[in-house]
Structure 1
């Protein structure tokens, strides 16, 4: 079994957890719920800090945010595109409805999306063995 399937398998059930080593950081993924939804939360070196959410030119300000999910939003909804095009012109209207990275958040909706993000950005990560109680 490859490491990507192993990560998915460990996060399959609620309360599942896996610890990884990537780019000199300890990354912990844990499947949790908040009463309404189930999601995968990410801790970098056992922390989640608010300042890690910051973005400059679509890139994270802090390197720890690379492990988090980029949140993309458009300045205006696509529904109002025709009105924007009349007022600002096509080129500017296109930019206004195109989603851009506005921050990084420490959660993923599914274990598959978390693994896809890690696979794309950190292909050489290692799974740390969990200490059995």
Structure 2
């Protein structure tokens, strides 16, 4: 079983968690719920600081934001495209309805989404076994 499958398996059930090491940071992934919504939250060094959500030029301002999900939004909805095109022209209208990264959030909708993000950006991360934590 690959480490990616192992991470998904540990996050399969509500309350499931897994600790990881990536780029010198300890990541804790926990499957939580908020009333009817179930999601996976990523804690970096056992913290979630919302100053880490900031983005400049579609990159995280703080290095801890790299582990979180990029949140993309467009300035206008696609529904407004025809009127924007008449007002500003095609080039500007295309730019206005194209989503871009405006911040980073610690929550992923599914364990698969969290694993896909980590797999893409941190292929060499390690799973920290519970007995390793106790001995440190």
Is there any run of 5+ residues in structure 2 with no aligned partner, and where?
none
Matches within 5 A, 1:1-133: 1-131=1-131
Give, in whole Å, the separation in 1 of the partners of 2:87 and 2:112. Answer: 41
Is there any run of 5+ residues in structure 1 with no aligned partner, and where?
none
Give, in whole Å, the separation in 2 of the partners of 1:113 and 1:55. Answer: 20
SS of 1:9 mapped into structure 2: helix
Give, in whole Å, the separation in 1 of the partners of 2:112 and 2:7. Answer: 9
Give, in whole Å, the separation in 1 of the partners of 2:36 and 2:12. Answer: 18
Give, in whole Å, the separation in 2 of the partners of 1:71 and 1:80. Answer: 21
Give, in whole Å, the separation in 1 of the partners of 2:124 and 2:71. Answer: 24
**Count of residues in correspondence between the two structures:** 133
Provide the alpha-carbon RMSD of the alignment. 1.2
Instruction: Normalising by structure 2, report the TM-score.
Output: 0.96
Give, in whole Å, the separation in 2 of the partners of 1:36 and 1:105. Answer: 19
Q: How far is 1:130 from its partner?
A: 1.4
Instruction: Normalising by structure 1, report the TM-score.
Output: 0.98
Q: How far is 1:40 from its partner?
A: 0.2
Q: Give the 4+ runs in structure 1 shifted more than 3 A.
A: none
